Structure 1
Amino acid sequence: MTASDRGVLPRPPALHRWLVLLFVSLAMFGNYYIYDALNPVIDLLREQRGFSYRQIGMLSTAYNVAALLVLLAGGYIIDRWGTKQAITVFAVICLLAAALTAATPHFETILAGRFLLGLGAEPLIVAATTVLAKWFKGKELSFAFGINLSVSRLGSASADWSTSFASPLYTNWQDPLWLATAVAGISVSAALLYWMMERRAEGRFDLGTTGKTDKLELKGLYSFSASYWYIIALCVVFYATVFPFRTFAIDYFQQAHGLDREAAGILSSLLPVAAIFATPLFGLWVDRVGRRSLFMAVGSLVMLPLFLMVTYLPPGPDVSVSIPFIGGAQVPLTLLLVILLLGGVFSLIPAVMWPSVAYIVDARRLGSAYALMTFCQQMGWAVVPLVVGVLNDRFQAGPENPAGYTAGMWFYTALASLGLLFAYLLWRTESGPGGHGLERLTIRSASADG
């Protein structure tokens, strides 16, 4: 089909766009559940398999190393194969990875499973992001990103909630991971549904295009602006802080604060739960008021003291937390407030950061931009779990020595301070004459310009 042929086709109606969002988000739900399913069994791996914190960190790092190896090629594959084929292939890889992780008690096999998951999960995220940018640019893009992130994080929350609704499985480390393998089937089913829907839409609607992805050669990186690189830097330190903290959070709440597994799981789940509700609201808000770089700076400022608060402030009285259909728990007030604030940050920054790239990068390079952004994200994320694991082992962190976790919390704080610096530099650039409109563009102004 030629460009002129596409020009006479109508854009997809709203129903089609929202169905695309539903299927892509369900694919991401299963993807996030698989990744976070390891978190509630960390103590079981240490008790039943004798794993050290360093080995736990290696399981997380293996995922990131695999993602680093595949992401650049993944961006090329997405543009070469098309999003519908790419999403399905990567979802199947995630399913196989989940099964391999649960299959045997050997550290090397579990490590291989996490490595395989990295080969599928992160390119799946890039493919999903590219789909939404193609179908929703100029049509509530930030809101669509927010909904997608909310459903994805429901997968993370569900993995935490499994300590309650699937508590009988937690007599051993293996059964919860087999449950994750079953959930992985949701990703594959949703990906196939998206494939069928896009095939039906081809030739009937103008689906737009993100263009052919350029190869990410060093000589071409100069074409990205300073604002893009500040977003990259913020992305790196933000995810290198929040995701490793979530990896160890349930175990940390158990060992350092004396919570049982169900209470720790419910408390940990409040971070993605807060994001489930707040992310689309932040996205909808920013679509209408702009000020994207300012909001990223505010979120970075709020995150800065949180890890020191959870370390040094008194725990406060226990308060009741109840999640309908899941269960309830008594948790310390200080921990609850910190997790809710971190959940707000976890909602605000991604809801603004990812769609901002679509406004500052040429559409022909959007797939490359997102692939590079995720690639850089993985570089920072790969290092932090190993560092935290080594710090926990070196300072003999555990229930007999809760102070051993303090060094890791200071490390998270140092990363958060870098995030605030990069967010400030982005705000200063976008507030000046060289800005791309992140401070002023709203959905109304974008529609008028279009």
Structure 2
Amino acid sequence: MTEKIKKYLNDSAVARWSALVLIASMMFFAYMFVDVMSPLKSMIESERGWTSGAFGNYAASEYLLNVCGFLIFAGIILDKMGIRFTGILSASVMVIGAGIKYIGISDWFQATSFAAWLNSWWVSMPASAKMACLGFMIFGCGAEMAGTTVSKAIAKWFKGKEMALAMGLEMAIARLGVFAVMWIAPIIYNSCDKTVVAPLAFCSVLLLIGLINFIVFALMDKKLDKQLKAEGEYAEEASEEEFKVSDLGKIFSSKMFWIVALLCVLYYSAIFPFQRYAPDFLAKTLDVDDSTGAQLFSFFPILAMILTPFLGGFLDMKGKGATMLYAGAIIMVACHLSFAFLLPLFPSKILAIALVAILGLSFSLVPAALWPSVPKIIDEKVLGSAYCLIFWIQNIGLCIVPMIIGHVLESTGGYTMPMIIFSMFGVAAFILAFFLKLEDKKKGYGLEEPNIKK
């Protein structure tokens, strides 16, 4: 008998990479929506009367419901209901949240009696900020659930193949959204009567396209599951029957899980909150306009976008995942300290771009090594819950830190102290990465080993 070379849909390179493009495009649009307000900070403050504190509360609101436990629930949904149901649900929730945020910022809403009532309490947060927070909270539930779903989907479709490369490419495509929105949002703002509503509406429409793309992927994934089930291999239908909530104890009892989760929250707390304030920081430090500040910061994801797939490929072939983690952490510390002390002394656009790009190098090393490491330490049937729990712990930091930075910025009037705070997070992440490597060496999880066995 002639053995079939391609038994499953994901054995086809065209099929699995097409699936990656579909789900990565959804995250590309999500990343655009996340940062659409970052280059518009001063504009929203002048148009709607926000303060830096209000903007910090808004930035933190994306993670609030996740911190309150939604992400744990999302992990259970993912492991019980599977990739297809959870992905479509998460994309739909993002669209709903975006719609609420759009309404809250719109001129129409400002004239309603409901807006007047919202303005009557907690006066430091205007009605538009309160509604934007509500919409961003709902969007954040969908975005974080989508992130974990995409990670599990890639782990499924690229198991035993180019998994780290695929995760790296997905992250690169998503980060391209940050670059794009830093340029596109100010252009749309200036082209549409200088209103912040226009960029928000544009990114909301893109989220609808992302939902359609994931529905197409779901049809492909359903076909793959039929093939896997027919051959008696792992499929989502099987995992749904095997998963039990009590299995979460396996995750919480893992020392490696806690090291990875804490490393994740510390590292990302010095990256994503910084993104919210970076355009304003660069504009004020270099004495340029807000659009220029956003364009300068747009170089941050470029090096990350270019290098992450190559680093993922290196991880697949050569390993060294734990080493990449602490190398990325120490680079981040050096960058934030340079933002705090070097750039104000030598306010140069070239220096700013160099520091932003080097920070992008750090943002290549750490995620490229971090997310492919999770399947090596966690059982496959609870992998979705593990990703969600890591995201939940990460979201605690991402919720608290922007509020802290916003109020520190209001009280100090400058960015030196916020940059020092970011640096401290980086030092703690470096220490945890070092312990992760030691633990891997003792227990042999294979974090330093290549993913593709020769």
How would you bin the TM-score normalised by the shorter chain? Answer: 0.7 to 0.9
Query: Which residue is equivalent to 1:386?
Result: 403
In the TM superposition, what is the alpha-carbon distance from 1:359 to its structure 2 partner?
A: 1.2
Q: 2:149 aligns with which of 127, 130, 145?
A: 127
5 Å matches for 1:200-219? 200-205=223-228, 208-209=234-235, 211-212=239-240, 213-215=243-245, 219=249
Q: Does 1:144 align with 2:143?
A: no
1:343 equivalenced with 2:342 (yes/no)? no
Equivalent positions of 1:408-427 (< 5 A) are 408-427=418-437
Residue deviations 1:3-40 (CA, integer Å, cap 9, x gap)? xxxxx964632222111111110111111111111211
Q: Which runs of 5+ in 1 are unaligned?
A: 1-7, 319-330, 398-403, 446-450
SS at match of 1:408: helix
Q: In 2, Cα distance between the equivalents of 1:336 and 1:373?
A: 31
Query: Is 1:194 aligned with 2:223?
Result: no
Match of 1:355 in 2: 372
Indicate yes or no: 2:98 matched with 1:98.
yes
CA contact (8 A) 1:316 1:332 kept: no
Question: Residue 83 of structure 1: CA displacement?
Answer: 0.9
Who is 1:76 aligned against? 76
- Alpha-carbon distance between aligned partners in 1 of 2:351 and 2:365, rounded to the nearest angstrom: 21
TM-score (norm 1): 0.87
1:298 deviates by 0.9
Confirm or deny: 8 A CA contact 1:163 1:170 kept in the other structure. no
Could you tell me which residue of structure 1 aligns to residue 109 of structure 2?
Answer: none
8 Å contact from structure 2 (residues 39, 182) kept in 1: yes
Q: What amino acid does structure 1 have at the position aligned with 2:203?
A: A
Question: Which amino acid is 2:103 matched to?
Answer: A
Cα pair distance change 1:245/1:170, threshold 3 Å? farther
Query: AA paired with 1:141?
Result: M
Cα distance in 1 between the residues matched to 2:244 and 2:142:
21
**Mapped contact 1:317–1:332 kept (Cα < 8 A):** no
SS in 2 for 1:103: helix
Cα distance between partner residues in 2 of 1:270 and 1:216: 45
CA distance in 2, matches of 1:416, 1:117: 28
Please say if 1:31 is aligned against 2:60.
Answer: no
1:172 aligns to what SS in structure 2?
coil
**2:448 is matched with which residue?**
439
Change (3 A) 1:231 1:142: same
| 1:306-325 matched pairs, under 5 angstroms | 306-314=335-343
Distance 1:107-1:317 versus aligned 2 partners, 3 A rule = closer
- Count of residue pairs the alignment pairs up: 417
- Which range moved further: 417-426 or 169-178? 169-178
- Cα contact 1:149–1:279 (8 A) shared by 2: yes
> 1:392·1:408 contact (CA, 8 Å) conserved in 2?
yes
1:436 partner letter: Y
Q: CA RMSD in A?
A: 2.1
The residue matched to 1:171 in structure 2 has which SS? coil
Partner-residue secondary structure (3-state), 1:444: coil
- Cα shift readout 1:292-350 (whole Å, capped 9, x = no counterpart): 101111111111121121221156888xxxxxxxxxxxx61221111011000111100
Measure how far apart 1:228 and its partner are: 2.5
Instruction: Specify which of 168, 176, 193 is matched with residue 199 of structure 2.
Output: 176
Distance in structure 2 (CA, Å) of the matches to 1:188 and 1:125:
14
Task: Provide TM-score, normalisation by structure 2.
Answer: 0.87
Q: What is the aligned partner in structure 1 of residue 349 from structure 2?
A: 332
Contact in 2 for aligned 1:170/1:176 (Cα 8 Å): no
Aligned to 1:401: none
Distance 1:214 1:169 in 2: 52
Q: Counterpart of 1:195 in 2: which secondary structure?
A: helix
Q: 1:383 to 1:314 in 2, by over 3 A?
A: closer
Q: What is the identity, as a one-letter code, of the residue corresponding to 2:38?
A: N
Percent of matched pairs sharing the same residue? 25
Post-superposition Cα deviations, 1:71-92, rounded to whole Å, max 9, x if no partner, equal: 1111111222221121112111
Change in Cα spacing, 1:170 to 1:408, as seen in structure 2 (3 Å) is: farther
